[in-house]
Structure 1
Amino acid sequence: MQANLAVGHRITTILKVLQIPRSTYYQWLSRQPSQRELENQRITDLGYDIWLSSNKVYGYKRIHVALKRQGLTVGVKRVWRLMKAIQAQSIMRRRFRKPVTQVLYAQRPNLVKHFDDMSGIWVADVTYIQMPGGSHLYLGMVFDPEARKVLSHKVSTVRDGQFVADILTDALKHHDAPRYLHTDMGSEYTSSTFDEVMQKHQIRHSYSKKRASV
């Protein structure tokens, strides 16, 4: 296509129809972007890459934090404006219904509730993670509150006794067994599979209240 043509028409004809002076058009051709525009483009490109890397879960606030970690000094309102312009918005739904679990055993006492000394006590928990497209994952972990350290963790699409038993078994491979393990009353922690691991290592089980269904 010749330089003076655009979509099959002469540029002079297009400018005449649009009532744009030729001088304005040639000024636009030779115009150089300002420093502000170049910065905006860089922020937009980096922010878009961060958004895609998060599976489109990050909103402008998290993108802003990620940009700062990369050494980019930029205001949060500016990030919001640029991300909104390219529709890079979080698709994470804030409210969702968790799968309901059934408690298999009667409630056991909270043995560690009044302990001042947390040595020899571990805590286990499972977190529900909503993913894009309506899917979900479970993040389970065993935590040492005295050392403030995660001893083992695992991600799965299934939350059951074997899932949490594997996490506890992995922690016991690298650490001495605690006196107590504290969990909630979820069915995975009241399962016979998990209880077998507890009994094998002579760990006393402490329970908090049953998780409320959402």
Structure 2
Amino acid sequence: MQRYYAGNVPDNVSGINRSSKRYIANNNEKDSEITQHLLALAARWKRFGYRRLHIMLKRENININHKRTYRLYKSAGLILKKRSKKKKYEKRGMPERNFTKANSRWSMDFVSDRTRYGANIRILTLIDEATRECLALEADSSLSGRRVCAVLNNVAIFRGMPKEILTDNGSELTSNYMNAWAYDHKVAHIFTVPGKPTQNGYIESFNGKLRDECLNQHWFKNLTEAKKTIEDWRQSYNKI
């Protein structure tokens, strides 16, 4: 009887030529179900990448490895196209950041939009740099320095006062109201250098997500609808 050892097995031991062998993957009904969930989530959250969709799947009690999520995400053609920058920006300096505790520093800025009928919408964005939580999204047709201080006070009722607050040099943020608010509450108010928004990189990054995932996905009929939609997005953002 002829014997074969490891490394000495002939190609036709199974009666099939080696060149004709192919691996045929079994259809996985579970993968199909998960893909349908991904498609439904991606239809609602159009600018979410696979990492954030993976978290959304977990909320629906679909506990799979993130690598599997990415494989299904990619095979479903859901990969987002990266928007290439037309201009390269040199790296600039920014205020020191080594915060690990909440309320070490808040960052604040403004974002603008319009309703479908052309009415202005101005949004005050406020985040905690340590936790990256969005503390407030105050939307209105206009926002004065006094209104900004009122928003900060409302947030502080539940959060406490920050040690520092970082903003640009907008008129509302350099107003007498803001100056008095920072002095009265012993909050250090730090301003970025004019023309260098990257010095407030955390809020700039957040503003990009707000515009990409919320403002660009809706065409608001009026200010009331805008306020509700923006606040719903804020609450969802903080849960992810």
TM bin, normalised by shorter chain, reads: 0.3 to 0.5
What TM-score, normalized by structure 2, do the two folds share? 0.43
Where is the strand percentage greater, Structure 1 or Structure 2? 1
Structure possessing the higher radius of gyration over alpha carbons: 1
Asked which structure has the greater RCO (Cα within 8 Å, sep 6+), the reply is 2
| TM-score between both structures, scaled by the size of structure 1 | 0.47
